[in-house]
């Protein structure tokens, strides 16, 4: 079965054909780190991680670029409010984002570029747009002229009035058209700035992603991804400036994940979880409450394009469902531990469930990454195993063939779970006291290194590694994570 992906640009599922056989180039818009990440950020990271994992499972070599927008108005505002530098704010919240997504079993990007490190590429791209008549200079600012790009609006399919409404966040009487947006912003007191041909200043948000995606993936890459909240104006503007500069389509597939919604107080209505709306639930808070695997399960229990409600009940249901899979695996191990007997059970029902689940899983994932149906396939295996386990007496044992079928079912369950990023047999380090104890050992190791007691430091590191805790020494200190 061919892999089909829903393309936001065409509003239909399309057979996926990469630019280069056997390889996939994928770009995702990462976070703007001006505050702690919320559950919506985690959902987006998990959704795109599943896409990446399935592409890898199908044999593709995936180059996955996810940027960090570390130069942006909100970061500057947060830095001013907190009395810190913009870089300090951005680096702190970006580091916590990477830590938290690692606890969600999200694979690190192939490249994670920061906007601040790519100002020369941004300036070059802006200059190209000025030279070919798509941008103009305004007293040290540079604006993209939307009417110069006739296809503007083809991704979001907004009419002219909606485009103007969306552009009002950058109202400026100097602009030639109210929809025009800034590629470069002239320097202001207390803001970061870099030299440019138009004077000192900093890049606008939209141009950052265009410059970084072109640098690492070239023009016309395979998949551009992000949340549905980015379709307009961010991705619409990306298309306009990138295609106006190069003449080539930005990406073959535009892939967008749905939002996490919160119920409004005293109402059955839901609204998007957003820092600007003040209705966020911190990612760290939920990870502390239920752990990464349960939250990841919640994120993939619905299709990636669907909005999902975030409630305590939904979290509890995800925990219970994940626990059912883990208990199923434990039941398999218990039955496999019994020595086969010539007159033992052949377990044909488990083999039937395994074959059906394997087929359903692959069909679901090839049909636009249908994770809800894929999870149902896993529960199909576990259901068959649990029925056998419930009927197994103390003298129960599989036959030789039954043992092979049970082992094959176990392998299938573990393999398919890992494709979704779910580890069913991992030990979870509970937060609270256990977390404090791990951090204490990390701090003791740091002091030992400072004192030149490297044998003690190495012993702590190796013992933690045996427990599945990985230490990462960085310039700004040591962090830890579960393997």
Q: Is the pLDDT assigned to residue 184 strictly greater than 50? A: yes
Residue 451 falls within a domain, yes or no?
A: yes
Per DSSP, the three-state class of 136 is: strand
pLDDT digit string, tens, across residues 27-63: 999 999 999 999 999 999 999 999 999 999 999 999 9
Residue 423: both structure tokens together: 């580890």
pLDDT digit string, tens, across residues 102-159: 999 999 999 999 999 999 999 999 999 999 999 999 999 999 999 999 999 999 999 8
End residue of a domain, out of 272, 305, 336: 272
Residue 16 falls within a domain, yes or no?
A: yes
- Alpha-carbon distance of 45 to 102, in angstroms, equals 10
Contact 402, 392 (CB under 8 A): no
Residue-averaged pLDDT of the chain: 91
Please name the residue that has the structure tokens 């190069």.
246
The residue among 343, 276, 273 whose CA lies nearest residue 309 is: 273
pLDDT digit string, tens, across residues 265-308: 444 455 666 655 566 899 999 999 899 999 999 999 999 999 99
The residue among 347, 325, 326 whose CA lies nearest residue 336 is: 347
- Alpha-carbon distance of 359 to 365, in angstroms, equals 10
Predicted pLDDT at 389: 83
The percent of residues in the chain predicted with pLDDT above 70, rounded, is 92
End residue of a domain, out of 419, 441, 472: 419
Residues 374 and 459 in one domain: no
pLDDT digit string, tens, across residues 208-267: 999 999 999 999 999 999 999 999 999 999 999 999 999 999 999 999 999 999 865 444
The residue among 249, 380, 267, 258 whose CA lies nearest residue 324 is: 380
Contact 233, 148 (CB under 8 A): no
Q: Is the pLDDT assigned to residue 163 strictly greater than 50? A: yes
Residues 116 and 260 in one domain: yes
What average pLDDT does this structure show over 381-409? 91
Contact 32, 74 (CB under 8 A): yes
Residues 151 and 191 in one domain: yes
Residues 407 and 468 in one domain: no
Confidence label for 477 from pLDDT (cuts 50, 70 and 90): low
Helices and strands: H and E segment counts in the chain:
15, 15
Residue 287 falls within a domain, yes or no?
A: no
Predicted pLDDT at 168: 60
Residues 256 and 351 in one domain: no
- Alpha-carbon distance of 372 to 299, in angstroms, equals 10
Residues 79 and 9 in one domain: yes
Per DSSP, the three-state class of 158 is: coil
Predicted pLDDT at 390: 84
- Alpha-carbon distance of 372 to 308, in angstroms, equals 12
Confidence label for 1 from pLDDT (cuts 50, 70 and 90): confident
Residue 305 falls within a domain, yes or no?
A: no
Contact 63, 24 (CB under 8 A): yes
Predicted pLDDT at 430: 47
Residues 183 and 243 in one domain: yes
Residues 121 and 74 in one domain: yes
Residue 311 falls within a domain, yes or no?
A: no
CATH number for the domain that contains residue 409 = 1.20.120
Which runs of E-coded beta strand occur in 42-188? 61-66, 135-138, 141-144, 181-186
Residues 354 and 466 in one domain: no
Contacts 24+ apart (CB under 8 A), 126-132: 126/183, 126/184, 126/196, 126/203, 126/207, 127/197, 128/245, 129/183, 129/241, 129/244, 129/245, 132/244, 132/245
Predicted pLDDT at 281: 92
What average pLDDT does this structure show over 76-99? 96
Please list, in sequence order, all residues whose beta carbon lies within 8 angstroms of the beta carbon of residue 103, skipping any fewer than 6 positions away: 287, 291, 292, 481, 482
pLDDT digit string, tens, across residues 411-470: 999 999 999 999 887 544 444 456 678 888 888 998 888 888 888 888 898 888 877 788
Residue 337 falls within a domain, yes or no?
A: yes
Confidence label for 483 from pLDDT (cuts 50, 70 and 90): low
Residue 457 falls within a domain, yes or no?
A: yes
Q: Is the pLDDT assigned to residue 321 strictly greater than 90? A: yes
> Strand pairing of 135-138 and 141-144?
antiparallel
Q: Is the pLDDT assigned to residue 401 strictly greater than 50? A: yes
Number of domains in the chain: 3
Q: Is the pLDDT assigned to residue 64 strictly greater than 70? A: yes
What average pLDDT does this structure show over 325-352? 92
Residues 346 and 439 in one domain: no
Q: What does residue 221 show for φ and ψ, rounded to 5 degrees?
A: -85, -175
CATH number for the domain that contains residue 231 = 3.40.50.620
> What pTM did the predictor assign?
0.85
The residue among 321, 336, 250, 333 whose CA lies nearest residue 290 is: 321
DSSP state string for 293-345: HHHHHHHHSS-TTS-EE--HHHHHHHHHHHHHHHHHHHHHHHHHTSPP-TTSB
Residues 391 and 447 in one domain: no
- Alpha-carbon distance of 269 to 467, in angstroms, equals 45
CA torsion 432→437→442→447, rounded to 10°? 130
The secondary element (H helix, E strand) that includes residue 255 is: strand 251-257
Domain of 467 in residue numbering reads as 433-482
Q: Is the pLDDT assigned to residue 90 strictly greater than 90? A: yes
Please list, in sequence order, all residues whose beta carbon lies within 8 angstroms of the beta carbon of residue 195, skipping any fewer than 6 positions away: none
> Strand pairing of 260-263 and 308-309?
parallel
End residue of a domain, out of 371, 386, 419: 419
Predicted pLDDT at 436: 72
Residue 286 falls within a domain, yes or no?
A: no
Residues 367 and 395 in one domain: yes
């Amino acid at each position: 079965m061919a892999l089909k992906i829903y393309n936001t640009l065409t509003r239909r599922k399309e057979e996926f054909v990469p630019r280069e056989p056997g390889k996939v180039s994928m770009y995702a818009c990462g976070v703007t780190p001006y505050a702690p990440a919320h559950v919506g950020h985690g959902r987006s990271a998990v959704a795109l991680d599943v896409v990446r994992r399935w592409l890898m499972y199908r044999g593709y070599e995936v180059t996955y670029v996810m940027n960090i927008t570390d130069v942006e108005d909100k970061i500057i505002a947060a830095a001013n409010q907190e009395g810190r530098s913009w870089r300090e704010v951005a680096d702190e919240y970006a580091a916590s984002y990477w830590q938290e997504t690692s606890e969600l079993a999200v694979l690190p990007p192939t490249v994670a570029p920061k906007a601040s490190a790519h100002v020369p590429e941004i300036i070059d791209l802006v200059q190209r747009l000025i030279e070919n008549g798509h941008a103009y200079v305004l007293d040290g600012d540079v604006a993209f002229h939307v009417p110069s790009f006739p296809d503007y609006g083809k991704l979001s399919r907004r009419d002219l009035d909606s485009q103007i409404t969306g552009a009002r966040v950058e109202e400026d009487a100097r602009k030639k058209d109210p929809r025009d947006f800034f590629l470069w912003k002239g320097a202001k007191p207390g803001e970061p700035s870099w030299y440019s041909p138009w004077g000192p200043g900093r890049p606008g948000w939209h141009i950052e992603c265009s410059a970084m995606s072109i640098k690492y993936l070239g023009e016309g890459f395979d998949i551009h991804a992000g949340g549905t909240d980015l379709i307009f104006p961010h991705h619409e503007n990306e298309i306009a400036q990138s295609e106006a500069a190069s003449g080539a389509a930005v990406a073959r597939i535009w892939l967008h994940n749905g939002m996490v919604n919160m119920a409004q107080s005293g109402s059955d209505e839901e609204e998007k979880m957003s820092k600007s709306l003040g209705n966020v639930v911190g990612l760290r808070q939920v990870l502390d409450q239920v752990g990464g695997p349960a939250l990841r399960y919640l994120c993939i229990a619905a299709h990636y394009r669907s909005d999902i409600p975030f409630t305590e009940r939904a979290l509890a249901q995800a925990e219970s469902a994940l626990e059912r899979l883990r208990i199923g695996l434990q039941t398999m191990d218990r039955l496999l531990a019994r020595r086969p007997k010539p007159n033992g059970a052949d377990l044909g029902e488990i083999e039937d469930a395994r074959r059906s689940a394997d087929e359903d899983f692959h069909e679901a994932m090839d049909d636009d990454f249908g994770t809800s149906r894929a999870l149902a396939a896993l529960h199909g295996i576990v259901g068959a195993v649990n029925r056998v386990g419930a009927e197994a007496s103390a003298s129960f044992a599989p036959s030789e063939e039954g043992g092979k079928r049970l082992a094959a079912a176990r392998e299938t369950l573990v393999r398919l779970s890992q494709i979704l990023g779910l580890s069913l047999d991992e030990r979870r380090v509970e937060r609270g006291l256990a977390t404090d104890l791990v951090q204490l050992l990390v701090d003791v190791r740091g002091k030992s290194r400072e004192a030149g007691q490297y044998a003690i430091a190495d012993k702590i590191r190796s013992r933690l590694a045996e427990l599945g805790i990985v230490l990462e020494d960085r310039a700004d200190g040591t962090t830890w994570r579960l393997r």
